[in-house]
Amino acid sequence: MLNKELILSHLQEHPWGSFLQVFDTVESTNSLARALAAEGVPSGTVILADGQTGGRGRLGRSFDSQKGKGLYFSLILRPELPPDRLLHVTPMVAVAACDAIEKASGLRPGVKWINDLILRERKLAGILTESSVNFETGFVDYLVIGIGINCSHEPEDFPPELNAISLHMAGAEISREQLAAELIRCLWEMAEELVSGKEAWLRRYAENCLTVGRRVKILLNGQETSAFATGIDPDGGLVVRYDDHSEGVISFGEVSVRGIDGYI
């Protein structure tokens, strides 16, 4: 079981420490965070669970959430952001999560556009950002930033098709409590700059993005296209060059990357 007191001792009087909620097993920390956000809990509330029975990923996928083996983390934020300016949130979170993982383990993952953290060409962590818009104000009411990190899994804990890795498999024995505290600190720094400071974060995202400079397959509305990823645009979209030399920006959908997703 995750030790809340230990997390708080790593946090040393952090402004978000008093909002921390730690659970044994929940269906999904993101679902719980959304319910709590709708009830009005403050910005900076962090929900952690030792295990999830229905961990959710992007594009309706599930997220493998074995009890005691991973960090299952959701943060509620209430930024003053219009909904059309949400695309850069997940890239900024990805950079903050890479920073936190590096601080806790000494290993720095890269990012597969837009929300997967990759170590040794395998998936180490995933990010699921969800939002609710207040149609009266035209602003975001709340954001739920969900992060799942594989910590102590053995290779046999993952079905091979997941192409997953844990920090333990990569040689790092970490404390989940310290990792949680580093995540809270790094996400706090990110949240301070969420509305006005995205440029520097997106520069760092581009530097950490393993997708840039590779051939990618893009799956959009059931249609598959092949392209070359050339960069990240000012909102966090993936800039690609198609085979007919035209350029485009991918803002959502699925992008698979040669090598990382095991396609040749």
By the criterion CB under 6 A, which residues form the site for ligand BTN? Answer: 28-30, 52, 55-58, 61, 63, 72-74, 115, 126-128, 146-148
**61 vs 120, beta carbon nearer ligand BTN:** 61
Picking from 134, 86, 125, 56, the residue whose alpha carbon sits closest to that of residue 251 is 86
CB 4, CB 18: distance < 8 Å = no
**99 vs 116, beta carbon nearer ligand BTN:** 116
**74 vs 131, beta carbon nearer ligand BTN:** 74
**59 vs 200, beta carbon nearer ligand BTN:** 59
CB of 246 to ligand BTN, least distance (A): 29
CB of 147 to ligand BTN, least distance (A): 6
DSSP one-letter string for the chain: ---HHHHHHHH-S-TTGGG-EEEEEES-HHHHHHHHHHHTPPTT-EEEEEEESS-B-GGG-B----TTTEEEEEEEE-----GGG-TTHHHHHHHHHHHHHHHHHS---EEETTTEEEETTEEEEEEEEEEEEETTTTEEEEEEEEEEEE-S--GGGS-GGG-B--TTTTT----HHHHHHHHHHHHHHHHHTTTT-HHHHHHHHHHHBSSTTSEEEEEETTEEEEEEEEEE-TTSPEEEEETTS-EEEE-SSEEEETTTSS--
CB of 245 to ligand BTN, least distance (A): 32
CB of 65 to ligand BTN, least distance (A): 6
**116 vs 234, beta carbon nearer ligand BTN:** 116
Q: Which residue is nearest to ligand BTN (CB)?
A: 126
CB of 100 to ligand BTN, least distance (A): 14
**30 vs 131, beta carbon nearer ligand BTN:** 30
CB of 146 to ligand BTN, least distance (A): 3
